[in-house]
Amino acid sequence: MSFHSGKHGKVTAGGQDLAVLQWSGIFRADKVEVTNTSSGGFAEYIAGVLRGEVTFDALWDDEALPNASPPELVEGKLVAVALHCGATGKTFAGNLFIESMQYDSSVRGQVSYRCSGSFSGNYNRPSTSSE
């Protein structure tokens, strides 16, 4: 087994590396029921539409403002995004439709933002030796 620390994980948006605190991705398949008279009384399903939803938190950086070009993280925009899995060299990547941007400022913390969106079209997952 080979485990990895997330401390070298990063997000690249529009070709710009971001000062990311954390990222997460949820990948789903719509469930299409195909139960029929040959199902023997058991429900049967096939995969429908695939989707990937992404959220990441990053620090405000005056040299890489989130709404600058790049990375152009603006709600309603489509931006090329790569989610890097630690120092493994493996990434999830695709065009992310930016659904929301949330900005936070804390007296005892930093100025940060959260970007949330969904991959539009095909997206790539890290490959494995069995693929």
pLDDT computed for residue 130 by the predictor: 44
pLDDT computed for residue 131 by the predictor: 42
114 with 57: CB under 8 angstroms?
A: yes
pLDDT computed for residue 4 by the predictor: 85
Residue tagged 């490959």 (tokens): 127
pTM, rounded to two decimals = 0.89
pLDDT computed for residue 128 by the predictor: 62
24 with 56: CB under 8 angstroms?
A: yes
Low pLDDT (below 70) residues in the chain: 128-131
94-120 CB burial, b ≥16 within 10 A, e <16: bbbbbeebeeeeeeeeeebbebbbbbe
Domains and CATH numbers, the chain: 6-124 (2.40.30)
